[in-house]
Structure 1
Amino acid sequence: MVFKRLLGSLGVGGPTVDTVLDPGPVLPGGDLNGQVQLRGGGADFDIEHITLELVARAEVEREDGEGEGAVVFDRFTVGGGFRLAEGEERGVPFSVTLPWETPITELYGQGLGIVLGVRTELSVAGAKDKGDLDALAVRPLPVQEAILEALGQLGFGFRSADLEYGHIAGTGQRLPFYQEIELTPSSRYAHAVNEIELTFLPFPGGMDVILEADKRGGLFSGGHDTVTRFTVGHDGVGHQDWNALVDGWIKQLVEHRGAHASHSSYGHGDPYGSAHGQGGRHHDQHDHEGHRRAGPGMGTVVAAGAAGLAVGVVGGMVAAEVVDEVGDFFEGDEEEEEGDEG
């Protein structure tokens, strides 16, 4: 991004800032590296703090229905405590660790429609100003990619992905939202389910996988949701028959008659101390039942020649739109905040 002058509370003569992230996507739980580049304004300024905020666009339940809002899900102080002279240029390098539950924004280089941003805030002489915003790209962990690849090879397709504000009860979820990846069923299960929703909750030792099926109703019964939960480890990804394992998960999910949580035979135990096999996908702050959104539909396979998950993108259109949307969405959110402060 080009240098953005800090207007607002610092005035026209204030310093400018440009946060440059290292190129390429990052991993959940991995390091985010870059540099905050400052340029002095028309006078000397004392830079008290340089703070990075991780911001996400999430679906939020409101009194007037469902809407979208910007959610800050982590903050890092990466510098400060120095004087920036008039016209001085200074770079402040940083390396911060992303939360393990950071949502994935792309698969095989194609965007999933998830909007994440890194927002830079300067604290100067007691005033704070949000001066720069950059799109954050996150690729799957090896275990996440293995599961998604298996689903693609089993015939499941990508429908849409979003972030839901709220918590999944009975899990060790840390962030204030969770990611849902909605899948169209394979031909083997199309008679039984309308769609399957997938949520990853990674942690240092492994990952919880929550699967929810929107089951079709029968002649004498209505449709309903069923839930299963599995735990897998980060190690040994290349030695696991993921197609067989994931197909077993789906079979167990579809055969369930009600909400139920399960433990996978492949994993490293429950890191949260909660009992598998108890409870289902009930949300503390978000009522999921009956909530269905139409996705963009099936499109081209993400990578040419790959047998992986088919994603509803054509020629990278979604990815390009997301990049443009990051600034538009969060800048609009900042305008609302400024209006509230005024």
Structure 2
Amino acid sequence: MISKMLAHIGYGGTTIQTLLDNEATDLGGTLCGRMIIQAGAVDQEVTGIAAELVTEVKIEGSDTRVRENRCIANYRLADRIALRAGEQRDLPFAIDLPLHTPVALGRKCAPVWLHTLLDLPLAVDAADEDPLVINPAPVQIDTLNAMREIGYELVKSDAEYRPHWGGPHGFVQEFEFRPAHGTDSLPHPEVELVFQPDGDGGFALLMQLDRAAKNISDTMVQGTGTGDDWQRIPLPGKLQGPGQRAIVHLLTPLLIDER
């Protein structure tokens, strides 16, 4: 009786540990691993195992700036499991990473982690958290290198709250660029880019120039419908993209030649 009471308040109860096959996973790929479930001192029933992919999102108001944890995607990994006292279960899992998952690009990038939750009725739920490294897609790496070739360096890549055009999750990862050292003659002191999933397995590139910059006028650039000065640039080639050289040719007229 005492063991059951302690299990209900979290002492000597069931625990869960998540073991990832690889800490780093490619964007759009599959995250694989195992859940080690260790039963406690008494028999317990698990009513479900769920996982959330989580990031930290920056939310700015008129005079405030806060950071909140936001769910990128959630997954149902297992249903009802009956555990005997002391029993251990080893359950494999595989989850697909959505394209709006923030990637590890730059020194200051949005963190991503996996939160695994074991649902225990009439007891304290067991949980585990594991940090993740999400490798960028080739088109994102090529775009970063193209910006560097043009003369801009990546400063940071926060996840920003964008409820109107960030999809159902309400945020986007914004990549902020500034002129590299020795390139002060560039016309825009700041450029922000967003890789927006295009619904066809690839991205469109959203660009915002410093507000002091001139208006863009180019047939390659289409309005985003976001209600602000972001511009939409199609990127062919899905996750592979068109290649660094093609991206340089695409962006140079928008960033330099307009002078």
Measured against the shorter chain, the TM-score band is: 0.7 to 0.9
Q: Which residue of 1 aligns with 2:234?
A: 231
- Normalised by the size of structure 1, how large is the TM-score? 0.62
Q: TM-score, normalised by structure 2?
A: 0.80
How far 1:201 sits from its partner (Å)? 1.4
Q: Which runs of 5+ in 2 are unaligned?
A: 1-5, 215-227
Secondary structure of the corresponding residue to residue 194 of structure 1: coil
Q: Which amino acid aligns with 1:179?
A: Q
- C-alpha distance in 2, partners of 1:146/1:48? 45
AA partner of residue 156 (structure 1): Y
Q: Are the counterparts in 1 of residues 200 and 238 from structure 2 also a CA contact under 8 Å?
A: no
CA 1:49–1:62 in structure 2 vs 1: closer, same or farther (change >3 Å)? Answer: farther
**Alignment check: 8 A CA contact 2:10 2:124 kept:** no
Give the 5 Å matches for 1:70-85: 70-85=69-84
Change (3 A) 1:9 1:247: farther
Contact 1:153 1:243 in 2 (8 A): no
Alpha-carbon distance in 2 for matches of 1:236, 1:176 = 22
Tell me: CA distance 1:254–1:149, structure 2 relative to 1, closer, same or farther (3 Å): closer
2:231 is paired with a residue whose SS is strand
1:185 and 2:179 correspond:
yes
Secondary structure of 1:153 counterpart: helix
How far 1:90 moved relative to its partner?
A: 1.0
Distance 1:77 1:229 in 2: 35
Match of 1:162 in 2: 158
Q: Over aligned residue pairs, what C-alpha RMSD do you find? A: 3.0
Structure 2 counterpart of 1:141: 137
Q: Give SS of 2:69's match.
A: strand
Q: Is the CA contact 2:24–2:135 (under 8 Å) kept in the aligned structure 1?
A: yes
User: In structure 2, what is the equivalent of residue 242 of structure 1?
Assistant: 244
Which one is further off, 30-39 or 207-216? Answer: 207-216
Q: Aligned AA for 2:236?
A: G
Deviation at 1:153, TM superposition (A): 2.5
The structural deviation recorded for 1:133 is: 0.5
Q: CA 1:159 to 1:235, structure 2 compared with 1: closer, same or farther past 3 Å? A: closer
User: 1:199-219 CA deviation, whole Å, 9 max, x = no partner?
Assistant: 11124432110111115479x
Which runs of structure 2 are paired with 1:4-19 in the superposition (5 Å)? 10-19=9-18
**What pairs with 1:1-342 in structure 2 (closer than 5 Å)?**
10-61=9-60, 65-106=64-105, 112-125=108-121, 129=125, 131-167=127-163, 169=165, 173-185=167-179, 190-202=185-197, 203-216=199-212, 226-235=229-238, 237=240, 240=242, 242-252=244-254
Distance 1:130-1:63 versus aligned 2 partners, 3 A rule: farther
Q: Look up the equivalent residue of 1:248 and give its one-letter code.
A: L
In structure 1, C-alpha distance between the alignment counterparts of 2:20 and 2:36, rounded to whole Å = 11
